[in-house]
Amino acid sequence: MKPVDLRIDARWIVPVEPAGVLTGHAVIVDGGRIVAVLPVADADAGYAPRDSRTLGSHVLIPGLVNAHTHTAMTLMRGIADDMPLKPWLEQHIWPCEGRFVSAEFVFDGTLLGAAEMLRSGITCCNDMYFYPDAAARAYEIAGMRALLGMPVLEFPTPYAADADAYLTRGLATRDAFKHVPLLRFALAPHAPYTVSDATWSRIVMYARQLDLPIQTHLAETRAEVDDALAATGITPLARLHRLGATGPNFIAIHAVHVTEADIATLARQSCHVVHCPASNMKLASGIAPVTTLLAQGVNVALGSDGAASNNRLDLFSEMRLASLLAKVTTRDAAALPAATALQMATLNGARALGLGDVTGSLLPGKLADLVAVDLADVATQPVFDPVSHLVNAADRACVSDVWVGGVKIVAERRLATIDESAVLARTHAWQRKLAS
């Protein structure tokens, strides 16, 4: 019998890869990686675990991947509701950021957002915000996996004076933290409309030289696309394609108002799209053509966007919204079934972030990013199909246990790595400042 670190037996196991539901199976973890997903009898015969856990009423799934968020903005949750993107950004978010955002703000906000995400079964996120160095320290403490965007804008903020300074600071952060196994880095130009052609060209050059993903907000509103067409005669994506930005390392966030030609470009160039249904609905931006993108072969992941425009970092609600929106927009009840929504929230997210070989499914060899969802409650009984329940009946309150790289991060709904009362005390102090 082979000694291993951990054995988890669950009522149901949904590996995502391969598709389907396993019963009477166990997951074996050693050295932070998944060693095997196998029938209980084979686990009994083959492995001597040092630790074990039996989850009698739970479905065990891969950790959820939040493929777009601004984690530190969790400190601005609910600060300005019920308005469209442009006034929301220009009258509320950017002035607030100009006054308050600092390394300290980002550290505290990232820890708050990481606590929320981990408790919600999100083991990995794609973050885009100022002071990624402060965010990196927070993710290290939290034990959460993250792709950290190095933000790029043309206009000055307390973080950097101009595009050159953003790039220099971002690349220095990558150099300082690239040895941390939980962290990866991406270039994060905010949007086509806030970054010049010259800067985009430099970003494309760095992406090629350093093999880094590029993530950007794209075609989020009708006005963004109309303004671009009036100014340049081409869509925002067509412009970025001309500048060489598209390819398998390109992550298009939102892609609400993309044309048929844009969709063909995204598919041909093997780009990734991050669908953020709640944020797009709340800012009245529109509905991304997800079923068309998927049908054309584009990898579509799910994101919460920041808590200031959502107002929750919760992929259970995003899965449900994505599935329901796809059905109502296509008038096809078969559109975007639960298994597809779950794959978008796990494997597709990992692939979008360039982590498809590392996380996103329970394939042996991958890191043990695991989430146990307890379906014992009256709200999730009876259970005929646990995959349907994950999208249509369960919510994040059902998440009981979370492992990242085989390390127990949430145990019976309590965070092992983050002191929640300390995070709340810091959050309340920021609330007093932001309200002043």
Q: Identify the residue among 127, 133, 305, 374 touching Zn ion (CB under 5 A).
A: 305
Question: Which residue stretch of 21-29, 104-112, 199-207, 298-306 sits at the interface with Zn ion (rule: CB under 5 A)?
Answer: 298-306
Of 58 and 77, CB closest to Zn ion: 77
Tell me the closest approach of the beta carbon of residue 275 to Zn ion, in angstroms.
Answer: 12
Beta carbon nearer to Zn ion, 73 or 212:
73
Q: How far is the CB of 89 from Zn ion (least distance, A)?
A: 10
Q: Which amino acid is at 68?
A: H
Region binding Zn ion by CB under 5 A among candidate stretches 159-167, 257-265, 266-274, 299-307 = 299-307
CA dist 278 to 2, 82, 272, Å? 46, 13, 19
* Residues 248-287, mask of contacts with Zn ion (x by CB under 5 A): ----------------------------------------
Name the residue whose CB lies closest to Zn ion: 305
Minimum gap (Å) between residue 313 Cβ and Zn ion: 12
Write the CB contacts of 138 (distance below 8 Å, at least 6 apart in sequence).
Answer: 71, 106, 107, 110, 111, 114
316, HSE (Cβ side, Cα atoms, 13 Å):
21
Name which of 157 and 392 has its Cβ closer to Zn ion: 157
CA distance readout (Å), 319 to 111, 329, 382: 24, 16, 21
Q: At its nearest, how many Å lie between Zn ion and the CB of residue 106?
A: 15
Structure tokens at 275: 């669908």
Q: DSSP strand E in 159-213: where? A: 183-189
Q: In what helix (H) or strand (E) does residue 61 lie, and over which residues does it extend? A: strand 47-62
User: Hey, how many other C-beta atoms are within 10 angstroms of the C-beta on 427?
Assistant: 17
Min dist CB 6 to Zn ion, Å, is: 36
3-state secondary structure 288-312: CCHHHHHHCCCEEEECCCCHHHCCC
Strand order in the sheet with 272-275: 64-69, 122-128, 145-152, 183-189, 214-218, 250-254, 272-275, 299-302
CB of 168 to Zn ion, least distance (A): 23
Q: Which of 112, 107, 169, 180 lies closest to 145, judged by CA?
A: 180
Alpha-carbon gap, residue 65 to 91, rounded angstroms: 31
126 versus 346: smaller Cβ distance to Zn ion: 126
- Binding window for Zn ion (CB under 5 A); candidates: 93-101, 143-151, 290-298, 301-309: 301-309
Give yes or no for residue 401 binding Zn ion (CB under 5 A). no
Query: What contacts 183, CB < 8 A, 6 or more positions away?
Result: 136, 139, 140, 145, 146, 147, 148, 177
Select 8 or 283, whichever has its Cβ closest to Zn ion: 283
Total residues in contact with Zn ion, by rule CB under 5 A: 1
Nearest approach in angstroms of CB 70 to Zn ion is 6
Q: How far is the CB of 220 from Zn ion (least distance, A)?
A: 8
Of the listed pieces 116-124, 165-173, 300-308, 384-392, which binds Zn ion according to CB under 5 A? 300-308
| Binding positions for Zn ion, rule: CB under 5 A | 305
